Chain A
Amino acid sequence: MAVQAPSQKVAVEQYEEAIIQCQGVNKWYGEFHVLKDISLEVAPQEVVVVIGPSGSGKSTFIRCINRLEEHQEGTIIVDGIELSHDVRNIAEIRRETGMVFQQFNLFPHLTALENVALAPMKVRHRSRQEAEARAMELLTRVGIPEQAKKYPGQLSGGQQQRVAIARALAMEPRIMLFDEPTSALDPEMIKEVLDVMKQLARSGMTMVVVTHEMGFAREVADRVIFMDHGRIVEQGPPEHFFSKDVEHHPRTQEFLDQILLSF
């Protein structure tokens, strides 16, 4: 059913090797078929924005990429490592993949600095000084060095999400997954988080972003993917998606009409 946008082929050919390769991924929650034959390749340094209505499976899909959800059919290869039941593979992929959640999921018993420094110390065996110095650097990069000694409960939503981004970056991942990073934020805080994400995209990070922020998609994305009912319905560059002249899949059109109305 999917209308294959012509640009997709271009995108794959443009880069020599995909960093994320999904082939025929299927997933069921019990009887419920959540992901249906998802095939997708993401090239290094590409920014892919996944959009779609609630329940379309977009969050489930990116959570499959770092194995927070298990898929039942198909293959997912991240950075040349195939996701399987092998714990070592999973660990390796997770080390290469940072993830930012809708609900931030900061560790409330640790300060912002400790949140960022924890994983490098425990997983990469950095010394405390080394890890904290790097954490401080990252906090500066996301613009909140002065909040380093505060606990998550003392920070605003936007600040928390920026700490969460810094925490994911601390592992020096090659891929960043964003799962609706701005959905739980007050409108005036969305911008500060999006700014950090734009900056990250410009620095050449491979990103897969699930979001409803069409402005972000239009400005930053190399490719936009529209998912509905567990399928990739349509994909293409943002110019394709956000131009009114192109003929879209009816489902896409419906979704875009609704979304763009609210702009």
Chain B
Amino acid sequence: MVDSSEPKRRSPAIAINYDNAPPRNPPLLEIGVLAWVRKNLFGSPLDALLTIVGVVLVAAVVVGTIEWTIERADWYSIILNVDRFMTGRLPGAVVWRVSIVVIFIMVTAGVLTAAYVRRLSPVIPLLLLLIALTVVIVPALVRALLPVPPAYLAAGAAPIISGTAEETPLPAVAFLARQNETLVIDFPAFAADDAGLAAMHGIVDRATNTLRNAAANRLSDMARYVEVVTLLARDEARLTATGGEYGDLTENGRATLQRELERLAAVVPPDSADAVAALRARLAAPALTPSEIDSLRAELAALVVPPTVVDTYRLNGQPVTLRLLDGNGTPAADEQVLVPGTTEPVRFLIPADGWYILEKTLPAGAEGAAILMARGIAPVFERSAGYLRLSDMFQFPGAAPVRDDDSLRPLVLNENRYRGDRSLEAYLYLYVTNFLVEIQIAVVAAIAAAAAGYAMAQQADRLFSPRDVPRRASQRLALWLLIATPVVVFVFINGFDLLAYSAALAWVVAIYAAYQAGLLLYQRGASTLVRLLAGVLLLAGAGLVFSLLPALIYDLPPTPPAFAGLLALPVAVAGLAGAWIGTGAGAAELTRRVTRAGGLAALLLIAPIIAGRVLPGSTRDSIAAILPYIDPDTWGGLLLALFITIYGTLLAFPLGILLALGRRSSLPAIKYPCILVIEMVRGTPFIVVLFAGQLLIPLVNENFAAIPNAYRALGATVIFVAAYLAENIRGGLQSIPGGQQEAGKALGLPEWQVTLYITLPQALRAVIPALVGQFISLFKDTSLLEIVGLTDLSRTVTNMVAQTEFNDARREGLVFITIIYFVLSYVIAYISRRIEESGSGAARRI
């Protein structure tokens, strides 16, 4: 209030706060995790409700899935079929070719990353490193820290009965062991009573499993018996109380329970300490009617305690004689006896790798049975290359020992599987570890290849890229690798004939040379005649190379066109020289172009020529045998899915662009056929198009029936994808503002160049998300290939389940392919998102 002469415009009171208070912490509920929880999970009563419902739903699914995964799922089905899931029925001898392809692709991926990703998020390399370390370290850790899960084997001569099942323990079991391992055999502690027996879990032979079932059935039968008796007694009491009017049960329910009681009484004589205890407890309860007390007393009096399974078979009450024989049946160690009550287990030291036989016998004339806990024995799985020990994937080529009287069997997977609910340790040891070991080499090699590609590209940039374009070298490398990838994949997966390769190569070289020469001539304004002449001569030169190659490479006589080619050679040289002089191109430029063409030719030709001329004794056949043709119908699993997806998209791409441009054409003769193709394919399900590929193509020409199934499916896929791509690309083209085309035209570019250099590149960038979506959906749609008889991932599951060992493993197979589909689709989608975000793919709008 300095100036009081103007009462209407009061200046604010002057206040200066010199109190320099330290900053305070915000209220606890306003920052950090708590605030996040409060705001996002419990923001309103409805939010809170949704959160709780959501958590309950997720928990219900996740808990059940995890329990199943750890305790019950049979993951050996996956581990032992990983190769089938990856490559189908591809012959084992050519799997290395797939490996090379994978390595090549991963190197390319690394180079691409180095060349085009602007700032690589550190999460990616860390994640890859983590994956690589996991697959290497986890198996080692688990094997070092956790005990080998034991196998439980039964001994004894008498049959073991559970319900209708009857199983006599085998006197001997064959198993695989390695040198210096110790086989430790003991009586398991849990076998002391039925409850322990029923709850046992582990790798269990059939007789032991029968014992386990017998104990478990007896316990559950007894419990049920008590329950049924109680229910019936209560019902009767009710009936009595109401004078027969109505009871607890319906007539049907009563009759069912009566029948069950009879059955249970036959299986388990009413008995057991538990049942007695239960009845006593109920008698002691207050507020029982006199009639109830009477009936319970009568029931108690009728109880006879039957022998437990443990007692019936005098389980582990008798000494067991153990003999270790080698695979030929000769003793490998001294006979030892496992005596009940002693704490010391029996130990055998394994002298060498191979098959062994463990004989386990009770004393002569002894009845009953024993359960042995054996550490060092694991079930085996028969493979074409021999047998595989499942605890650690130890492979042994020798055949399993047999005896004529069938008293000896190897501990094979389908009879001796894991029974009971698994512990986490057993899950880790038997399944996780083995799965990781199975994929270890592939995963580490793939990640290393990607890292190598990345490093290589960076090094190339350091050495060769000019300062103002710091990534030119790596981007060129990436481009060449990208172009080479489909060729490499095809050559390695399909196989190739060197002669055909040479011919193809000759054409590549010729076309490249023609391109270079054409550029030269065009730019220097040569006359039409000179251009025409040069073109003809170049083609003649190509024919020459084509026909002479067999002679150059294999010392075969040149094919007849070679003579024409030979004649053409001097003419070609003269013509080119004339063209050069005529156009007045600088010698430097000519040299540069010739070096370029020549360099490419040399690079491509040098390998077959060296292979053919230098390697001793090589003939056409011996060279063709390096990469022999693989029957495409043996492709399967992921290999097939990826092959169809990648080549389907790749080949559909040019077709899709043509269809899109065709549909925009103003010429009816081009426009309407394009519309017809696009709309017909889009109006048809993929399955129908696939069947058309299988069934209609042979109608066009009978010889087409000989085209392998996989290629016909690929053809159908290409047409199917092209129709959708065409619509996507057309949408992209339509989204380009008309000004772009006008600007191009105003510069004097002809229409096709406007499309090629201006609208199409922008349209393609604008539709990248749609293209990736198309790619992913095609990848998933490959699961339909099963229907036309190809071994895709889902057919692999079907085939797997057809093996006796894995009859019950359909769920495991489906879970596994779900993971494959999901992981790959997610990775592709992630990469595409990154491309869009980085801006190198998105159209840069003004």
Binding site for B on A (CB under 8 A): 66, 68, 91, 94-95, 97-99, 101, 103-109, 118-119, 122-123, 125-127, 149, 151-154, 160, 164, 167-168, 171
Main secondary structure of the interface of B (DSSP, over half): helix
Expressed in whole angstroms, the minimum distance between the Cβ of B841 and any Cβ of chain A is 10
Among B737, B744, B747, which residue has the most Cβ atoms of chain A within 10 A?
B747
Q: Contact between A119 and B748 (Cβ–Cβ < 8 Å)?
A: yes
Q: Contact between A91 and B748 (Cβ–Cβ < 8 Å)?
A: yes
Q: Contact between B746 and A94 (Cβ–Cβ < 8 Å)?
A: yes
B765 interfacial by beta-carbon distance below 8 Å: yes
Expressed in whole angstroms, the minimum distance between the Cβ of A214 and any Cβ of chain B is 26
CA A106 – CA B762 in complex, angstroms?
Answer: 12
Closest A residue to B740 by CB, please name it. A105
Expressed in whole angstroms, the minimum distance between the Cβ of B148 and any Cβ of chain A is 62
Q: Contact between A94 and B747 (Cβ–Cβ < 8 Å)?
A: yes
**Contact among B523, B748, B753 for A95, CB-based, below 8 A:** B748
B199 interfacial by beta-carbon distance below 8 Å: no
Expressed in whole angstroms, the minimum distance between the Cβ of B666 and any Cβ of chain A is 14
Name 25 A/B residue pairs within 8 A (Cβ), A-sorted. A66-B746, A68-B742, A68-B745, A94-B747, A94-B748, A98-B746, A99-B746, A101-B746, A103-B739, A105-B739, A105-B742, A106-B846, A107-B743, A107-B744, A107-B758, A108-B843, A109-B762, A109-B843, A122-B753, A151-B844, A152-B844, A153-B846, A160-B846, A171-B747, A171-B748
B522 interfacial by beta-carbon distance below 8 Å: yes
Chain B residues with CB under 8 A of A106? 743, 846
**Contact among A101, A123, A125 for B743, CB-based, below 8 A:** A101
B9 interfacial by beta-carbon distance below 8 Å: no
Expressed in whole angstroms, the minimum distance between the Cβ of A152 and any Cβ of chain B is 5
Closest B residue to A87 by CB, please name it. B750
Extra inter-chain contacts (13) besides given A107-B743, A127-B523, CB under 8 Å: A91-B748, A95-B748, A98-B746, A99-B743, A99-B746, A101-B746, A106-B846, A109-B843, A119-B747, A122-B757, A123-B753, A149-B468, A171-B747
B845 interfacial by beta-carbon distance below 8 Å: yes
B808-846 CB mask vs A (1 if < 8 Å, else 0) is 000000000000000000000000000000000001111
Q: A91-B748, A101-B739, A171-B748 are in contact. Are A108 and B523 (CB under 8 A)?
A: no
Q: Contact between B765 and A109 (Cβ–Cβ < 8 Å)?
A: yes
Chain A residues with CB under 8 A of B753? 122-123
Q: A66-B746, A91-B748 are in contact. Are A109 and B739 (CB under 8 A)?
A: no
CA A160 – CA B750 in complex, angstroms?
Answer: 24
Q: Contact between A119 and B749 (Cβ–Cβ < 8 Å)?
A: yes
Q: Contact between B749 and A104 (Cβ–Cβ < 8 Å)?
A: no
B329 interfacial by beta-carbon distance below 8 Å: no
Q: Contact between B743 and A118 (Cβ–Cβ < 8 Å)?
A: no
B761 interfacial by beta-carbon distance below 8 Å: yes
Q: Contact between A123 and B748 (Cβ–Cβ < 8 Å)?
A: yes
Expressed in whole angstroms, the minimum distance between the Cβ of B753 and any Cβ of chain A is 5
Chain B residues with CB under 8 A of A164? 743
CA A164 – CA B748 in complex, angstroms?
Answer: 14
Expressed in whole angstroms, the minimum distance between the Cβ of B527 and any Cβ of chain A is 15
Q: Contact between B844 and A153 (Cβ–Cβ < 8 Å)?
A: yes
**Contact among B746, B748, B750, B762 for A108, CB-based, below 8 A:** B762
Closest A residue to B525 by CB, please name it. A125
Chain B residues with CB under 8 A of A101? 739, 742-743, 746
Report, nearest first, the 9 A-B pairs whose CB atoms are least far apart.
A105-B743, A95-B748, A105-B739, A119-B747, A153-B844, A99-B746, A94-B748, A108-B844, A151-B844
Chain B residues with CB under 8 A of A149? 468
Expressed in whole angstroms, the minimum distance between the Cβ of A99 and any Cβ of chain B is 4
CA A123 – CA B745 in complex, angstroms?
Answer: 11
CA A164 – CA B739 in complex, angstroms?
Answer: 12
Expressed in whole angstroms, the minimum distance between the Cβ of B593 and any Cβ of chain A is 11
Chain A residues with CB under 8 A of B737? 103, 105
Closest B residue to A184 by CB, please name it. B846
Among A107, A149, A160, which residue has the most Cβ atoms of chain B within 10 A?
A107
Chain B residues with CB under 8 A of A109? 761-762, 765, 843-844
Q: A101-B739, A109-B843 are in contact. Are A125 and B748 (CB under 8 A)?
A: no
Among A95, A105, A126, A171, which residue has the most Cβ atoms of chain B within 10 A?
A105
B486-525 CB mask vs A (1 if < 8 Å, else 0) is 0000000000000000000000000000000000001100
Chain A residues with CB under 8 A of B844? 108-109, 151-154
Chain A residues with CB under 8 A of B762? 107-109
Chain B residues within 8 Å of chain A by Cβ, number: 25
List B residues 704-740 near A (Cβ within 8 Å): 737, 739-740
Chain A residues with CB under 8 A of B765? 109
CA A234 – CA B227 in complex, angstroms?
Answer: 112
Among A66, A122, A168, which residue has the most Cβ atoms of chain B within 10 A?
A122
CA A148 – CA B746 in complex, angstroms?
Answer: 22
Expressed in whole angstroms, the minimum distance between the Cβ of B755 and any Cβ of chain A is 12
Chain B residues with CB under 8 A of A99? 743, 746
CA A103 – CA B742 in complex, angstroms?
Answer: 11
Q: A105-B742, A108-B844, A160-B846 are in contact. Are A125 and B523 (CB under 8 A)?
A: yes
Closest A residue to B758 by CB, please name it. A107
Chain A residues with CB under 8 A of B745? 68, 94
CA A104 – CA B739 in complex, angstroms?
Answer: 8
Expressed in whole angstroms, the minimum distance between the Cβ of B836 and any Cβ of chain A is 14
Among A119, A149, A160, which residue has the most Cβ atoms of chain B within 10 A?
A119
Q: Contact between A118 and B757 (Cβ–Cβ < 8 Å)?
A: yes
CA A118 – CA B747 in complex, angstroms?
Answer: 9
CA A94 – CA B523 in complex, angstroms?
Answer: 20
**Contact among B746, B757, B761, B846 for A104, CB-based, below 8 A:** B846
Closest B residue to A150 by CB, please name it. B844
Q: Contact between A168 and B747 (Cβ–Cβ < 8 Å)?
A: yes
Expressed in whole angstroms, the minimum distance between the Cβ of B195 and any Cβ of chain A is 75
Chain A residues with CB under 8 A of B742? 68, 101, 105
**Contact among A66, A125, A171 for B522, CB-based, below 8 A:** A125
Among B761, B765, B844, which residue has the most Cβ atoms of chain A within 10 A?
B844
Q: Contact between A122 and B846 (Cβ–Cβ < 8 Å)?
A: no
Expressed in whole angstroms, the minimum distance between the Cβ of B735 and any Cβ of chain A is 12
CA A153 – CA B839 in complex, angstroms?
Answer: 11
CA A97 – CA B747 in complex, angstroms?
Answer: 8
CA A103 – CA B750 in complex, angstroms?
Answer: 22
Chain A residues with CB under 8 A of B846? 103-104, 106, 108, 152-153, 160
Expressed in whole angstroms, the minimum distance between the Cβ of B576 and any Cβ of chain A is 20
Chain A residues with CB under 8 A of B748? 91, 94-95, 119, 123, 171
Closest A residue to B738 by CB, please name it. A105
Chain B residues with CB under 8 A of A171? 747-748
Expressed in whole angstroms, the minimum distance between the Cβ of A138 and any Cβ of chain B is 13
CA A68 – CA B748 in complex, angstroms?
Answer: 11
CA A119 – CA B743 in complex, angstroms?
Answer: 11
Q: A104-B846, A109-B762, A118-B757 are in contact. Are A91 and B739 (CB under 8 A)?
A: no
List B residues 462-503 near A (Cβ within 8 Å): 468
CA A139 – CA B636 in complex, angstroms?
Answer: 57
Q: Contact between A108 and B845 (Cβ–Cβ < 8 Å)?
A: yes
CA A106 – CA B743 in complex, angstroms?
Answer: 8
CA A125 – CA B747 in complex, angstroms?
Answer: 13
CA A153 – CA B739 in complex, angstroms?
Answer: 16
Expressed in whole angstroms, the minimum distance between the Cβ of A116 and any Cβ of chain B is 10
Expressed in whole angstroms, the minimum distance between the Cβ of A190 and any Cβ of chain B is 18
Expressed in whole angstroms, the minimum distance between the Cβ of A129 and any Cβ of chain B is 11
Chain B residues with CB under 8 A of A98? 746-747
Closest B residue to A95 by CB, please name it. B748
CA A107 – CA B468 in complex, angstroms?
Answer: 22
Expressed in whole angstroms, the minimum distance between the Cβ of A60 and any Cβ of chain B is 13
Chain A residues with CB under 8 A of B746? 66, 68, 94, 97-99, 101, 168
Chain A residues with CB under 8 A of B843? 108-109
Q: Contact between B747 and A123 (Cβ–Cβ < 8 Å)?
A: yes
CA A128 – CA B627 in complex, angstroms?
Answer: 41
Chain A residues with CB under 8 A of B743? 99, 101, 105-107, 164
Closest A residue to B753 by CB, please name it. A122
Chain B residues with CB under 8 A of A103? 737, 739, 846
